[in-house]
Amino acid sequence: MINNCLNCDDELVEMMTWRGLFYREPQFLCYACDKQLVKIDGKRCLGCSRSLDDLAPQLIKGDGCLDCHRWEVDPRWKGILHQNFSMYFYNDFLKEYLAKYKYRGDYVLAKAFSHTIKSYLAKVDYDFIIPIPLSEERLYERGFNQSTALLEEAEVRPSNILARSHSEKQSKKTRKERLSQEQVFQLVESDLNGKSVLLFDDIYTTGTTLRQAARLLKEAGAEEVSSLTLARG
């Protein structure tokens, strides 16, 4: 049993709510830290989960954002990724929290999201859930795959049927460079014909990584590929 906040180490004080009277959720963050995790509510892009409420009108196209529109008008990428759903805004708090989790090896921090991930997955149908893999070099640096760990803490058994070659981080590349780069994923032999696949990653930023993985899965016979991410950057 965890008695202190995973983030600030303050003592956890149980908050009494009407929901808590009937269903007791595990508590890993104190009230002050938990309220800084901001879920994406309101109107969101149907393609990538980006909040549309505060987006400039010129960056909105119908029910989606301009970025998703640009993906879908490109014949190379149209229909590759059916939809992405993100849970939280990638605000300063979550950015720092995930930095401690991913880059400082604080594996236990994944517990804070276990209930949210488990609750979402209980409402969707899929045949395979596949965490975005790290290259061997990146895995050696970090010691664990952050996406796999998040699923395992949520008591979800992932299908590790993708492998990844080492490449420069997407954030360091221009959009043109990201779109033109060679495929970085390889598929471990598996029967995907007619299957529904859910990709899982910690952050959706440009969507390039998820779409590269989705393209490989679609080429291998998957009927539909969607994705779930912890945050929308």
Span 74-232: which CATH code? 3.40.50
133 contacts 163 by C-beta, under 8 angstroms:
yes
- Cα separation, 125 vs 135, whole angstroms: 28
pTM over 0.95: no
SS3 88: strand
3-state secondary structure of 220: coil
- Rg of the chain's alpha carbons, rounded to an integer? 18
Contact 220, 192 (CB under 8 A): yes
Tens digit of each residue's pLDDT, the chain (233 residues): 789 999 999 999 876 555 454 556 789 999 999 999 999 999 999 999 999 998 999 999 999 999 999 999 999 999 999 999 999 999 999 999 999 999 998 999 999 999 999 999 999 999 999 999 999 999 999 999 999 999 999 999 999 999 998 765 555 556 566 665 678 999 988 899 999 999 999 999 999 999 999 999 999 999 999 999 999 99
Paired strand residues for 231 = 88, 203
What's the one-letter identity of residue 99?
A
**What is the C-alpha separation between 101 and 217, in angstroms, rounded?**
28
**Coil, strand or helix: which one is 224?**
strand
